[in-house]
Every structure is written in structure tokens, then in C-alpha cells.
């Protein structure tokens, strides 16, 4: 489970509360079937991995990993066996005699993870453990942590502000804002059907386009108007859509399809083009406002050129302007109406 959200939203506080480092004002914390509200941290059998590694600089890698075992007075022979076993698994066996200052950032992070693993905890709590690493090392460590978690089968709560980490690593994601849960779900669910406009804008790089849309009656039906849009929408109580109603349309940048003027749902002039190799991220100006398109083809795009795009109804999310909550995809509502 990955907990993701902007700085100050309560991610680390949640983790520290579970670990027993913060007192909670209400509610209950269960680890397995055991209520742990009143238990001190050392009796909760959780292992925490910190952003800063928190290694002892004067101790060797072996002694850093062995520290929690010595604290509970495990026999020396068993300590040696456990430490060497976890060090081999994490590629640290040949570094056991070194001090932390002799290691790279990725190796130090592996030592911190090994120290957490060696005590065989009931759960792992990881507080932004990759934020101090460079981009390539972060990618490698994401893969290592996911593989390790699957091998160990231990419940892991991973806190990050990086939504890419959240999407790529998680079985489930919890999105926090201002201390409140906005959505819990599988990565593809949170990405494809964000529960509200905050999640829509926060998850994804770039985030989901949010465009205000009005519905006006046309020939007894309804039209979704985007200052020139040609998208007709069946309306009525069955589908939850009404004429003369405003909604917020959410579209992922990669869901826009470049088309010709006759088939277009929306048009805009290219204001910015960011070439990323496999794709180009385009910022367009239109009468409906500014929006972002990800183009996967290799064509060249010139500034101020007019671009025409359309979106399949199944890829359009509709949000209430008042509550900012998801009402459904356009396809869902059209199906109900039909």
C-alpha cells in the first residue's frame, strides 16, 4: 500500500502513528488482529525505513544490520546467520566490513532495508526511502523493493510524494490531502477513474486535463459544448445528465486523439511542445482554456499550428462543479441514458 499526497498532507504522521512514534487523538490501530494503541514502538513488531537512512556511521554494515537483533539479545551465531543471509539477498555480503561512508547512496539504502528485514517484522513502514537518490538509482530501487516485498510477503506501507512511485510500485494506493483520504484503490483504478478533481490533477504526469463544459438542448437531446465541440450526448434523468447543466470534463493527455477538422471534438493552437523521445507533450490554447495533449507519433509540431483532437467517451470523466466528485465516465452516463 502506497500513501501518496503533497507535502504536509499527513503521510509521515500516519506512518509514525502506526509505528507508535506519535500519539493518536482518536480511532484504533490494528496490526493484524492485535490492537496496538497503547503499545510502545518496540512492542509493535514493525520495521521502519527512513528517508535519511539513519545508519550508525561508526558501525560496520554488519553491525548496522545486526543492531535490532542485538537489542533483543539474539545469540551471536544466529545473528551471524541472519545478517549474512539478508546481506546476500540484497547484494551486500561483500560490504559487511565497510562503514556507511564507504558506500554509495543506493548501497546505504539497501543496508537500511536489510536492517528492517533481518528482524522478521509483521509489517514494513517506509517513509520516502528513495527521495535522496538520483533518478536512475530510484528506478532500480523501486524494482528491488517490489521484488523483495513479493518474496517476503510482508505487509508494506510505503509513503511517497512521488506519484510515479505510487503508480509503479503499489498493489493499492491511498491518496491523502489535508489529512483526509481522497481515494483508495488499485493503481489503474485511481489513474483511470479519479474520485475527485484533486486526485485527477495530482495523479499523472502531467495530470488530467479539467475543462468546464456546458450541456445545451439540441433537437430534444443534448450537446456537450466546448466552444465549437461536435460531441452529442444523450441526456435525461436516466443518465443523470440534464440540459443547461455545467460539468467538469476530465481527460488524460494521452487519451486525446489527433484527427482532422471534420471529426474534431476540440481544437487549439500549440503554445508549447516538449519533445521527450517516444512522445511529445503539447500545451494547446483554445476557447475552452488551456489543455495538454500527449502525442505518441514522431511527427514534428510547430508553435502556433492548429491541432484538432477527439476523445472516446469511455476516456472522459465527468465531475460535479460543486462537490468536485466523480459522477462517472461519459460512456457510463450515455449508456444509462440510452
Phi, then psi, of 45 in degrees rounded to 5:
55, 45
Closest CA to 136 of 161, 106, 98: 106
Q: Which CATH superfamily is domain 2-197 in?
A: P-loop containing nucleotide triphosphate hydrolases (3.40.50.300)
Query: What is the DSSP code string of 11-71?
Result: HHHHHHHHHTSS--SSS--EETTEE-TT--GGGS-EEEE-TT----TTS-HHHHHHHHHHH
Q: Which residues of 178-208 are buried (b: 16+ CB within 10 A; e: fewer)?
A: eeeebbebebeebbbbbbbbbbbebbbebbb
Cell 542485538 found at: 70
pLDDT at 227 over 50: no
Q: What is the mean pLDDT of the chain?
A: 87
Phi, then psi, of 308 in degrees rounded to 5:
-110, 135
Yes or no: say if 334 and 233 are a contact pair by the CB < 8 Å rule. Answer: yes
pLDDT at 11 over 50: yes
pLDDT at 132 over 80: no
Residue extent(s) of CATH 3.40.50.300 domains in the chain: 2-197
pLDDT > 70 in the chain, percent: 89
The Cβ of residue 26 has, within 10 Å, a number of other Cβ atoms equal to 4
User: Taking the domain 202-337, which CATH number applies?
Assistant: 2.40.50.140
Cell 543496508 found at: 111
Give the H/E segment covering residue 3. Answer: strand 2-4
- 90 confidence band (pLDDT: 50, 70, 90): confident
Residues forming a β-bridge with 283? 272, 292
- Model confidence pLDDT, tens digit, residues 256-310: 999 998 888 888 999 999 998 889 999 999 887 899 999 987 778 999 999 999 9
Closest CA to 129 of 110, 102, 115: 110
Residue extent(s) of CATH 2.40.50.140 domains in the chain: 202-337
pLDDT at 105 over 60: yes
pLDDT at 238 over 50: no
What's the whole-model pTM score?
0.85
- 158 confidence band (pLDDT: 50, 70, 90): very high
87 Cβ neighbours under 8 A, 6+ residues apart: 61, 62, 65, 93, 95, 96, 114
**How far is 126 from 107, CA to CA, in rounded Å?**
16
pLDDT at 148 over 90: no
Q: Which of 81-95, 111-125, 184-198, 238-252 has the highest mean pLDDT?
A: 184-198
Amino acid at each position: 500500500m502506497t500513501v501518496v499526497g503533497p507535502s504536509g498532507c499527513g503521510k509521515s504522521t500516519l506512518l509514525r502513528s502506526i509505528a507508535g512514534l506519535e500519539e493518536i487523538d482518536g480511532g484504533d490501530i490494528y496490526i493484524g488482529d492485535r490492537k496496538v494503541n497503547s503499545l510502545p514502538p518496540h512492542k509493535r513488531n514493525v520495521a521502519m525505513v527512513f528517508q535519511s537512512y539513519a545508519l550508525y556511521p561508526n558501525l560496520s554494515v554488519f553491525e548496522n544490520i545486526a543492531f535490532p537483533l542485538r537489542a533483543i539479545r539474539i545469540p551471536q551465531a544466529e545473528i551471524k546467520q541472519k545478517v549474512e543471509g539478508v546481506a546476500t539477498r540484497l547484494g551486500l555480503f561483500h560490504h559487511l566490513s565497510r562503514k556507511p561512508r564507504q558506500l554509495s547512496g543506493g548501497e546505504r539504502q539497501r543496508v537500511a532495508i536489510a536492517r528492517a528485514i533481518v528482524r522478521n517484522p509483521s509489517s514494513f513502514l517506509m517513509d520516502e526511502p528513495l527521495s535522496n537518490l538520483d533518478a536512475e538509482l530510484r528506478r532500480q530501487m523501486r524494482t528491488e523493493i517490489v521484488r523483495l516485498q513479493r518474496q517476503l510477503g510482508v505487509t508494506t506501507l510505503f509513503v511517497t510524494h512521488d506519484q510515479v512511485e505510487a503508480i509503479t510500485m503499489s498493489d493499492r494506493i491511498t491518496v491523502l490531502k489535508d489529512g483526509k483520504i481522497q481515494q483508495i484503490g488499485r493503481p489503474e483504478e485511481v489513474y483511470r477513474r479519479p474520485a475527485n478533481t484533486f486526485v485527477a490533477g495530482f495523479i499523472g504526469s502531467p495530470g488530467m486535463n479539467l475543462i468546464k463544459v456546458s450541456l445545451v438542448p439540441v433537437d430534444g437531446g443534448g450537446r456537450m459544448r466546448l466552444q465549437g465541440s461536435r460531441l452529442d450526448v444523450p441526456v435525461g434523468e436516466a443518465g443523470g445528465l440534464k440540459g443547461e447543466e455545467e460539468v467538469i470534463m476530465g481527460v488524460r493527455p494521452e487519451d486525446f486523439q489527433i484527427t482532422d477538422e471534420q471529426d474534431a471534438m476540440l481544437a487549439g493552437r500549440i503554445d508549447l511542445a516538449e519533445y521527450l523521445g517516444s512522445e511529445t507533450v503539447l500545451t494547446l490554447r483554445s476557447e475552452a482554456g488551456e489543455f495538454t495533449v500527449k502525442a505518441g507519433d514522431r511527427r514534428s509540431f510547430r508553435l502556433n499550428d492548429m491541432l484538432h483532437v477527439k476523445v472516446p467517451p469511455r476516456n472522459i470523466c465527468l465531475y460535479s462543479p460543486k462537490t468536485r466528485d466523480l459522477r462517472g465516465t461519459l460512456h457510463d452516463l450515455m449508456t444509462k441514458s440510452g
